[in-house]
Amino acid sequence: MSNSAKTTWKIHKFTSMVLVPFVIYLMLKIISISKLSYEQIIDELSSTWAILYILIFTVLGLFHMRLGVFEIMEDYVHDKTLKKILKIFVSVFILGILTLVCLSLLLILIS
Amino acid sequence: MDNPLSPHLQIYRWQITSVLSILHRISGVVTSIGSVVLVTWLLAIGIGEETFNCINSIFFSFLGRAVLIGITLAVCFNTLNDIRHLFWDYGYGFSLNVVKFTGWLVAIISIILTVLIWLFVYEVI
């Protein structure tokens, strides 16, 4: 295994570990939020902790997603051009999600 | 070619270990695509109450709920199986019997968790 593959693996494992409590919290939060009214949800989501949580979770999640999907492609996509196209597609997808999360948070903050 | 390749799926006999390994990847991809749902919901909250109600009614339609339950199962399974993988990374749980046992455990607990979460959402419990 090359050095970069080792580093990639370590980052992937690190994101796994940190994401476990984040996902548990997310699950509990979504259940409790689903019972609230719109105004209460806005209140809940515009707290500093909520915004910090959402941003950190998004970045960690997207890193984890990118590494996982690239690993799968490494195993099953052998055509170089196709792999390149798929990698661009995944990167655009990730940037799109990140942009939309930031936009949503801005909208929530000014509302 | 730097990375070792995974085994070729076509010539593998179905067993709990290999099935879970494949499901781990599938659930990861489902969770990734499922992130769109979460972001749509967050964006709808940001846009306004009308959009939020509209998105909510789509999410809570029959098809919407089926998709959400599927994503819940994928997230539960991916997280639990990842914990199993983390134990392996530290050298625990490698004997065949334990691997099979924890495999079934992860599969069963993720189904139970999904059911519990949705019972909470429906306010049954």
For an interface test with B, give the residue of A15, A25, A74 to mutate (most B CBs within 10 A).
A74
- Collapsing DSSP to helix, strand or coil, B85 comes out as helix
* pLDDT of res. B9: 65
What CATH number corresponds to the domain at position A82? 1.20.1300.10
Q: Domain residues for A67?
A: 3-110
- The whole-angstrom separation of Cα B42 and Cα B35 is 11
* Entry field: residues in chain A: 111
State the ipTM, two decimals.
0.91
Tell if the CB–CB gap between B43 and A38 is shorter than 8 Å: no
* Entry field: residues in chain B: 125
Chain A residues within 8 A of B81 when measuring between CB atoms: none
Q: Domain residues for B67?
A: 16-120
Tokens read off for A84: 């390149």
Q: Which of the pair, A38 or A3, is modelled with greater confidence?
A: A38
- Looking at the 3D structure of chain B, how many domains does it have? 1
* pLDDT of res. B4: 75
Does B5 reside within a domain? no
For residue A12, how many C-alpha atoms fall within 13 Å in the half-sphere facing its CB? 19
Does B10 reside within a domain? no
Does B110 reside within a domain? yes
Tokens read off for B46: 């940001």
Mean pLDDT value across residues B29-54: 96
Q: Report DSSP letters for A54-98, one per residue.
A: HHHHHHHHHHHHHHHHHHHHHHH---HHHHHHHHHHHHHHHHHHH
Mean pLDDT value across residues B6-13: 70
Q: Is A111 at the interface with chain B, CB within 8 A?
A: yes
Does B93 reside within a domain? yes
- CA B9 vs. chain centroid, Å, equals 21
What CATH number corresponds to the domain at position B42? 1.20.1300.10
Q: Map tokens 């997280």 to a residue.
A: B79
Please give the mean pLDDT across all residues of chain A. Answer: 94
* pLDDT tens digits, B65-118: 999 999 999 999 999 999 999 999 999 988 999 999 999 999 999 999 999 999
The answer for B 66-125 residues in CB contact with A (under 8 A) is 75, 79, 82-83, 85-86, 89, 117, 120-121
CB B118 within 8 A of CB B66: no
Mean pLDDT value across residues A69-94: 95
